[in-house]
Amino acid sequence: MSVVPPLTQALVLAGKDLRLERRTGEAFLVVAPFGAVALFMVPLAVGADTPLLATLGPALFWVVVLLFGVLVTVRGSATDGPAQRAVLSLVGVTPRVRLAGRAFGNTVLLLGFQAVIAPVALVLYAPEPAGWVWLLPMVPLVAVGLGTLGALADLVSEGLAGRAVLGPLLVAPITVPLLLGATGVLDAARYGRPAWPWLVLVVTVDLAAALLAAWCARHLEDQS
């Protein structure tokens, strides 16, 4: 009997999460429109000051990505019941692989979420084009970091009554370095400063989140 490698197991679990999302449409039919509404409401509160909104645009995009992205990671379909967990355990899927699968699925969904929100921000705010090339590495790096931290919070708040609120409360303050890095590259590019330290910051956060998640998974699944 051949043993399925852990990476393949994680990818299969991520595929399962994505199929579930395709059926429920929670991330793209509920959270994404909600995020777009937030982007729409800010100018109403700030006022029709076009230069100010153009300056605020990139920052608001990232705030919406992080705050509403957390909702994507704690979506209802990202919950494994006790029976499902038991089956996965019996077939040899370790907690670490299960968490990795959830993180992979989250990352793909967050990339899609950003792809939906970005055009809305572009149309509503018309931000300056300076430094946009830095977004090419930053968008996937933020998705990886948020996806991993979200998977961790999802596991910590699994099965709890207030999970939909508790999960974001646990994750949102910890994602601040991602916000600083994502907005920092654009500011650095605009003012002619080196932007790579912000990329290093986000890569460091991603690695730290991955290591923490790998360490935590075993303890969180331990039912002894």
Q: Which residues bind another protein (CB under 8 A)?
A: 152, 156-157, 160-162, 166, 169-170, 173-174, 176-177, 208, 212, 215-216, 219-220, 222
**Minimum Å distance from CB 178 to another protein?**
13
Write the DSSP string, 59-81: HHHHHHHHHHHHHHHT-GGG---
Which residues have C-beta within 8 Å of that of residue 49, sequence separation ≥ 6?
none
Do the Cβ atoms of 69 and 172 come closer than 8 Å?
A: no
In the complex, the smallest distance separating the C-beta of residue 156 from another protein, rounded to whole angstroms, is 5
CB of 140 to another protein, least distance (A): 22
The one-character DSSP state at 28 is I
- To another protein, the closest distance from the beta carbon of 163 in angstroms equals 8
Would you state the torsion angle of the CA atoms of residues 174, 178, 183, 185, taken in this order, to the nearest 10 degrees?
Answer: 150
How far from the centroid of its chain's Cα atoms is residue 68's Cα?
A: 9
35: which 2 tokens?
């995020």
State which residue, 108 or 174, has the beta carbon closest to another protein: 174
Measured from the CB atom, is 117 or 171 closer to another protein?
A: 171
Provide the token pair at 176.
Answer: 């601040």
Pull the structure tokens for residue 188. 């650095």
Contacts of 46 (CB under 8 A, 6+ apart): 52, 53, 56
**Cβ proximity to another protein, 116 vs 208, nearer residue:** 208
Least separation in angstroms between residue 101's CB and another protein is: 19
> Would you give the distance in Å from CA 168 to the centre of its chain?
11
We find the least distance from the C-beta atom of residue 21 to another protein, in angstroms, to be 25
Residue 30 or 166: which CB sits closer to another protein? Answer: 166
Of 105 and 177, nearer to another protein (C-beta) is 177
Nearer to another protein, 36 or 98 (CB): 98
